[in-house]
Amino acid sequence: MAAAQKVPLIDLDKRSQALLQNMGVENSKLLFLHLMPGENPNYPAGKEDNTHFNELGARKMAQLVLVDLKALKLGLAERIVAPCPPGKHLFLHSRVYTLTTGRRFVQF
């Protein structure tokens, strides 16, 4: 449909599926809303949600979009900056993933 309309297409479904499959079942859980009891006041009993991304997952999805924005040579790509907020440790380019809580760590 995008080709017929002559508009750029970012296939985030395809990209995100590839990322999650590459990470595997257990490691991909790091991208979703998995909270231990007492970790978040909104979920005092904890939460295991494999539908909604946590901060790391959202950042990783945004990174996939940015890669395609650059590949498509869309001007928007040059206007996007992605600073890491103070106190947060997200090493997305080095393939070391640490949740902002510091509770989980995985390297693959």
Q: Report which residue type is found at 99.
A: L
Closest-CA residue to 28 (of 37, 40, 16): 16
Nearest to 25 by CA among 46, 59, 50, 48: 50
pTM of the model: 0.70
Our count of domains for the chain comes to 1
**pLDDT tens digits for range 3-62:** 899 999 999 999 999 999 999 998 999 999 998 899 888 899 999 999 999 988 998 998
- Interatomic CA distance for residues 68 and 100, integer angstroms: 26
Question: Can you give the residue range of the structural domain that contains 101?
Answer: 9-107
* 3 domain residue, yes or no: no
Domain-embedded: residue 67: yes
Half-sphere CA count of 92, side-chain side, radius 13 A: 19
- 85 versus 69: which is more confidently predicted? 69
Query: Is residue 89 situated within a structural domain?
Result: yes
Domain membership of residue 1 (yes or no) is no
